[in-house]
Structure 1
Amino acid sequence: MTTKSHKKYALKGAIAMIPLSVAVIPWGLLAGSYAIDSGLSPLESQALSTILFAGSAQLVITGMLKAGAGMVTMLLTTLFITSRHFLYSVSMRDRISPLSLKWRLILGFLLTDELFAICGNQSKDRFNTWYALGAGLSFYLCWNIATLVGIVAGSYLPILSELGLEFAVAATFIALVVPAIKDSPTLIAVLVALFLSVGLHLLNIEGALMLSSLGGMLAGFAAEKVKGSQL
């Protein structure tokens, strides 16, 4: 392909990512302001988005930091929350493995829920590395800019964290999860995780997020096994 073709595909990827990039802006604002509220410096707050680049993990970790959690607990929590990216990478292995190490590292770093939603279902013949790069890089830039604005706003507007921006987290994941519910095992996994997360949170049980996620995965696995045995 020519350089012009590369730019064309990258632009198409960036355009395809625009709705999800816009949806994540309130989340980025919240992540930036929440990090400042948790006692991190502006540089440390921005580094979370630049290096970690994991919205849900950033919000959870900053909350744990504010609560005085230990380093080991925070690392294990981050590992568990981001473990779904391992499943994403396995799902896309047939398209990514033939690429050079440089491309695998770049796309691996940019792989998020949103990028997987855009490129995860593309066939091997349809998948284009420059399209994925344009989508992932545009989302990365949007996330970091939104975080920066949140950091600045959080430094001067202490009430920013009280504006209900955290709903953007739930709204974004709902938009990603609902289209993926295409069979009964997936539906069961989602419902079990939903009810467990709410129930365990109401009971003030520590690790409610991890337990509900594990419960949802086990329920979906069991439902898949039952469904397979009936065929």
Structure 2
Amino acid sequence: MDISSQSISRTHLLWRGMLAISPLSFAVIPWGLLAGSYAIDIGLTPIEAQALSAILFAGAAQLVATGMFDAQVGLWTMLLTTFFITSRHFLYSVSMREKISPLPLRWRLPLGFLLTDELFAVCGHQSKKEFEPWYALGAGLSFYLVWNLASLVGIVAGRQIPNLDQWGLEFAVAATFIAIVIPTIKNIPILVAVVVALVASVLLSYWQIEGSLIIASLLAMVAGYLCEKAGMDNSSSSQTLKSEEGA
């Protein structure tokens, strides 16, 4: 393959990645507007507010961090909270390790930085043969640009339109995660984990228990694991019975 063909192939993969993640990119725009405007409302400068999106690049963590900053929470409490909120990215990286670890460092660093819930939803299900770095780069980089542009618009609007955070834009957070989670429900253990997470998070929040989301996440993972293990045990028991009957 000559250089021009390689360039066309890479460009094609970049565009494919951008198109694949575009529905999630559009869905996250209200979320970015909220993050930018909220940062301005609590007193951050436009540069500081934009730096949150450009450097931290984590929607849920940004909103929580800005809220805790507004409440004048201590630095270590803020760091610990954001650590737990973003700890799911560790699971994403472990899941995609087999695909990304063989790549050189110049690929691993940017893809690691761009790895979000949305990028994992697009590339996480791909096998090692299906995974293309240029495709992932196109998806992750386009999402990064949309998020920062939306944050910038929110910053500008936040200075012009007061109380933009009261317009109900926070629903975009729930809508985005619903769009990510629903397509992944392909078997009973995943369905059980989703239902347990939903019910537990609502009940724990209603009972005003601190760390309700973290507790709900742990309960969901345990429930999904136990359900999957029970299914595997039943399957192995059935195979044993069949082999005994055949004997």
Q: TM-score scaled by structure 1?
A: 0.95
Rg larger for:
2
**Pairing of 1:89-100 with structure 2 (within 5 A):** 89-100=93-104
CA contact under 8 A between 2:41 and 2:163: conserved in structure 1?
no
Alignment correspondent of 1:32 = 36
Report whether the alignment pairs 1:51 with 2:51.
no
Alignment correspondent of 1:115 = 119
Alignment correspondent of 2:87 = 83
Equivalent position amino acid for 1:201 in 2 = S
SS in 1 for 2:73: coil
Equivalent position amino acid for 1:6 in 2 = R
Alignment correspondent of 1:165 = 169
* Per-residue deviation, residues 71-100 of structure 1 (Å, max 9, x unmatched): 112111111111111111111112111100
Match of 1:20 among 20, 24, 29: 24
CA distance in 2, matches of 1:41, 1:230: 59
Alignment correspondent of 1:144 = 148
CA distance in 2, matches of 1:53, 1:116: 15
SS in 2 for 1:92: helix
- 1:64 deviates by 1.8
Equivalent position amino acid for 2:169 in 1 = L
Report whether the alignment pairs 1:205 with 2:212.
no
Equivalent position amino acid for 1:11 in 2 = W
- 1:103 deviates by 0.2
What is the root-mean-square deviation in Å for CA atoms of aligned residues? 1.3
Alignment correspondent of 1:125 = 129
* Per-residue deviation, residues 101-135 of structure 1 (Å, max 9, x unmatched): 11000101001111111111112222111111111
SS in 1 for 2:163: helix
Q: TM-score scaled by structure 2?
A: 0.89
Match of 1:224 among 205, 211, 228: 228
Alignment correspondent of 2:239 = none
CA distance in 1, matches of 2:77, 2:126: 36
Alignment correspondent of 2:238 = none
- 1:4 deviates by 2.6
Match of 1:5 among 3, 9, 15: 9
Alignment correspondent of 1:189 = 193
Q: How many residues are matched?
A: 231
- 1:229 deviates by 1.9
Bigger Cα displacement from structure 2, 29-38 vs 213-222 = 213-222
SS in 1 for 2:224: helix
* Per-residue deviation, residues 131-150 of structure 1 (Å, max 9, x unmatched): 11111100000000000100
Runs of 5+ unmatched residues, structure 1: none
Bigger Cα displacement from structure 2, 46-55 vs 190-199 = 190-199
Runs of 5+ unmatched residues, structure 2: 236-247
* Per-residue deviation, residues 34-76 of structure 1 (Å, max 9, x unmatched): 1112222211111111011111111111122222222112111
Report whether the alignment pairs 1:70 with 2:43.
no
Equivalent position amino acid for 2:166 in 1 = E
SS in 2 for 1:158: coil
CA distance in 2, matches of 1:227, 1:75: 39
